[in-house]
């Protein structure tokens, strides 16, 4: 065997090894799934049990994460006050915006994904019966921020005749204020109230719930009909899965969605 021939053979072996190495790299890259694209969602601020910002958990966040994952995307949440959600979306931020009831021109609504049930809460020993909203006259009432905008006109009318009325952002202290007789009536979402009530006084049963309002159903807004349709399809699949009831039991201890 000549030196030239031996050199050619060594070159062939080296080339085969390089091709094999490149082939193995290609197989490895093919086996690694591509990172999912990301959807940005505008959502509200701290609001247990729906949204817990620091841990990025809560019923609403976990539900939206599951839906977006079913759509084939990762989710990134942008937390802003509820009153600025639509404003920032109109300014071009994010791909989807949460907690909407209307559908402005040029935007596309999904099917409702979440419901809030607002209630009145009073002490069992309140000196008067509340049989309708008109019975709020003369009472001290505290409510969630912008309650008069979300609740029916007869509520807005009734609160003009209360002895005091205050809307607050931070709701965690409300059950304690009612238990201490600092207020007569609370107006809150059922799940938010029960979350804080159980934390404040786990064994207490001195408060009672009054139901005068219909549930409020909220949808997402998307920039294209395609994204809205994909969200609807994924949401319908999640609602048919065990996860939907598991999330409600985890965060609400009951099925109410």
Domains and their CATH numbers in the chain: 38-115+216-252 (3.40.190.10), 118-210 (3.40.190.10)
For residue range 2-27, list pLDDT tens digits in order. 544 444 454 444 545 554 444 544 44
E strands present in 94-176: 96-100, 108-109, 114-116, 118-123, 140-144, 164-168
- What is the mean predicted confidence (pLDDT) over 86-90? 98
pLDDT score, position 195: 98
More confident of the two residues 17 and 117: 117
Closest to 186 measured CA to CA, from 165, 216, 156, 161: 165
For residue range 210-241, list pLDDT tens digits in order. 999 999 999 999 999 999 999 999 999 999 99
Whats the size of the chain, residue-wise? 257
Q: How far apart are CA 174 and CA 180, in angstroms?
A: 10
Among the ranges given (4-8, 69-73, 121-125, 139-143), the one the predictor scored with the smallest mean pLDDT? 4-8
pLDDT band at residue 64, thresholds of 50, 70 and 90? very high
More confident of the two residues 32 and 215: 215
10 and 45 in contact (C-beta within 8 Å)? no
Residue 123, beta-bridge partner list: 207
pLDDT score, position 29: 39
Neighbours of 161 (CB within 10 A): 14
Cα dihedral across residues 64, 69, 71, 73: positive or negative: positive
């Amino acid at each position: 065997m000549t030196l030239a021939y031996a050199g050619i053979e060594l070159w062939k072996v080296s080339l085969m090894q390089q091709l094999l190495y490149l082939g193995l790299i290609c197989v490895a890259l093919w086996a690694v799934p591509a990172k999912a694209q990301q959807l940005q969602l505008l959502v509200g601020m701290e609001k247990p049990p729906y949204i817990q910002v620091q841990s990025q958990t809560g019923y609403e966040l976990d539900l939206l994460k599951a839906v977006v994952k079913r759509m084939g995307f990762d989710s990134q949440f942008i937390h802003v006050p509820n009153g600025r959600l639509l404003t920032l979306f109109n300014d071009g931020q994010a791909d989807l915006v949460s907690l909407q009831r209307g559908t402005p021109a040029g935007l596309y609504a999904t099917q409702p994904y979440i419901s809030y049930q607002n209630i009145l809460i009073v002490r069992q020993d309140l000196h008067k019966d509340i049989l309708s909203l008109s019975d709020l006259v003369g009472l001290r009432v505290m409510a969630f921020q912008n309650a008069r905008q979300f609740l029916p006109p007869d509520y807005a009318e009734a609160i003009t005749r209360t002895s005091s009325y205050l809307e607050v952002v931070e709701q965690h202290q409300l059950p304690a204020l009612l238990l201490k007789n600092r207020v007569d009536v609370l107006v809150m979402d059922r799940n938010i109230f029960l979350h804080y009530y159980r934390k404040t006084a786990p064994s207490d049963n001195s408060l009672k719930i009054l139901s005068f309002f219909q549930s409020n159903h909220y949808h997402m807004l998307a920039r294209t009909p395609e994204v809205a349709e994909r969200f609807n399809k994924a949401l319908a699949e999640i609602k048919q899965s065990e996860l939907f009831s598991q999330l409600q039991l985890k965060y609400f201890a009951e099925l109410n969605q």
